């Protein structure tokens, strides 16, 4: 079995579809989304972000995740090698009717934001017994 080479993947900057007023670079966090019988789960990579740095808003069925990093910790830093650009994060998700928007919850741990998007009762899959 051949060894896989490690690939460097650049962060994707937020596409400028609207004017931004944030200082510094802003990136789209990489996100994994999976489904359980009860909810959609979303895990976003937000390295260096603390709970107090995050802002999660829900308006008109659009979930917006933003994080502002304090860049003062990086001022004057001159790394010998860097694969990681420092900046703010911003991403939006349009939620479908199957999500119970009143019960959305979030946690952040070790640079990973986890959002739980519970399904509405009528949207959950139900197994029908055969008589």
Our CA angle for 14, 15, 20, nearest 5°, is 75
CA atoms within 13 A on the CB side of 86: 13
Strand partners, 58: 63
| Domains of the chain by start residue, with CATH | 25-121 (2.60.40.790)
List the pLDDT tens digit at each of the 131 positions of the chain.
Answer: 455 565 555 666 666 555 556 566 788 889 999 999 999 999 999 988 889 989 999 999 999 999 887 767 667 777 777 666 677 889 999 998 899 999 999 999 998 999 999 998 876 666 777 87
Phi-psi region of 11 (alpha: psi -120 to 50; beta: other; left: phi over 0): beta
Query: What is the rounded CA–CA span in Å between residue 38 and residue 121?
Result: 9
Q: What is the pTM of this model?
A: 0.73
């Amino acid at each position: 079995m051949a060894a896989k080479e490690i690939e460097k993947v650049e962060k994707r900057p937020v596409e400028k579809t609207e004017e931004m007023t944030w200082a510094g670079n802003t990136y789209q966090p990489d996100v994994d989304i999976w489904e359980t019988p009860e909810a959609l789960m979303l895990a976003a990579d937000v390295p260096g972000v603390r709970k107090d740095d995050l802002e999660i808003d829900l308006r008109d069925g659009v979930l917006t995740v933003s994080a502002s990093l304090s860049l003062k910790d990086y001022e004057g830093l001159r790394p010998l090698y860097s694969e990681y650009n420092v900046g703010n994060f911003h991403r939006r998700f349009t939620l479908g009717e199957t999500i119970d928007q009143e019960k959305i919850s979030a946690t952040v741990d070790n640079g990973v934001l986890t959002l739980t998007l519970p399904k509405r009762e009528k949207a959950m899959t139900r197994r029908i017994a055969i008589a």
